[in-house]
Structure 1
Amino acid sequence: MTENNNAPLKGLVLCGGQSTRMQENKSRINYHGMPQWQYLANLLTSCGMETYLSCRTDQQPDFNGYPRLIPDSVPYGGPSAGLLSAHLLQPDAAWLVLACDLPLIGPKSLEILLQERDAQQSATAFISPVNDLPEPLIAIWEPAGLRALHQNVEAGKNCPRKTLLNTNIRLLHNPYAAEQYNANTPEEKAAAIQQVTDQSLRR
């Protein structure tokens, strides 16, 4: 399938981080009655996507036989390893990527990404409410964007956001920007749990 048409879209949950600041595995934190990786995988699957988990090779036993694992297969670290391992596995696919540090992400944000996807660009991404930069890990990466990331990483530029800043992308303001909240420390985890609890009480 060429990029003049929509590349087939898959879901990808990035679970391979070291979680150093959190002091526990972020993919296994329970915000919604289940491990975070499972919540995100269910969210992507509910949008009609075949969904994969990206993980380090040593993490594979942690995911209870989940049928679509992509262990890191490239000699790079960070989220680029997960993105590029997925790209190498299915180079003609586009990937809707979610990181495990997104405890508040929900279907409203994903619906906007899907509705506003521009497959002629390298990616479709939200603007961060924190710094007004592209959010590389709540985004749809097209094959062209992943090829650009691969070239940058091989040149020593291992930063997905910088790739987005230097390629043609569809950049979106999210009316549900609170869903883009990142939890990377125990304090941020506690705040997220409180927000999830408050939301449940209001329903």
Structure 2
Amino acid sequence: MTTANNNAPLKGLVLCGGFSTRMHEDKSDIAYHGVPQWQYLVTLLQSFLEEVYVSCRPEQQAHFAAHPLLIPDNVPHGGPSAGLLSAHALQPATAWLIVACDLPLLSRQSLELLIQARNPQKSATSFISPFNDSPEPLIAIWEPGGLQTLQQNVLNGKSCPRKTLLNSDVELLQNPFATEQFNANTPEEKATVLSSLKK
């Protein structure tokens, strides 16, 4: 198990519970790398971490039954934070390396940087988004304290994880491989990624 300074154990979480409305197909199933994206990301995380979980909606559990470590969303009105908080509820003393399923360009090099830079004394360790210069909440390591803050914010009607990081003490990183933070959310973006991967 990966730990830092004897602090919270670090485990992986691939977020697959979104509805993929703009993509018109399940983003976690798109085979950018020859296998469904969720499997690609699980394998990436397993090269660093012993335990890697998949977060999904309750009705998706049968779809991901091939993976033994599932965490169904159980946080009502959690919005984009539901997967993070469901994992925190299950294992409140764990830190989670969060990866969203819509990151087709993500590779080991970005994850290695993130893990090496982990600061367990802060709420989270996060890349800076190259698109809006804000913390990137869904390629990040969330410490238990940061997830407690997120939980309180959601209870207060503030479900945006990025806003939680903006108002927290976060270890922020400039990623030299920032193109790996690209989110593919539409058929056009999917086509662009597939074309680039063929080159």
| Same fold, TM-score > 0.5, yes or no | yes
Shift of 1:47: 1.1
Shift of 1:194: 1.4
Aligned residue identity for 2:196? Q
Aligned residue for 1:15? 16
**In the alignment, structure 1 residue 85 sits paired with structure 2 residue 111:** no
Aligned residue for 2:183? 182
Aligned residue for 2:95? 94
Aligned residue for 1:112? 113
Is the helix fraction higher in 1 or 2?
A: 1
Identity of aligned residues (%): 66
Stretches of structure 1 lacking an aligned partner (at least 5 in a row): 199-203
Aligned 8 A contact 1:4 1:120 in 2: no
1:128-147 mapped onto 2 (5 Å cutoff): 128-147=129-148
TM-score by length of 1: 0.94
In the alignment of these two chains, the number of paired residues is 196
Shift of 1:74: 1.2
Q: Secondary structure at the match of 1:13?
A: strand
Aligned residue for 1:201? none
**In the alignment, structure 1 residue 28 sits paired with structure 2 residue 29:** yes
Stretches of structure 2 lacking an aligned partner (at least 5 in a row): none
Aligned 8 A contact 2:128 2:172 in 1: yes
Shift of 1:54: 0.1
**In the alignment, structure 1 residue 162 sits paired with structure 2 residue 163:** yes
RMSD after superposition:
1.2
Shift of 1:64: 3.7
Q: Secondary structure at the match of 2:63?
A: helix
Distance 1:180 1:79 in 2: 17
Distance 2:5 2:167 in 1: 21
Q: Deviations over 1:90-138 (max 9, x none)?
A: 0000000000110000000000000000000000000000110100000
Shift of 1:4: 7.6
Aligned residue for 2:126? 125
Distance 2:38 2:108 in 1: 15
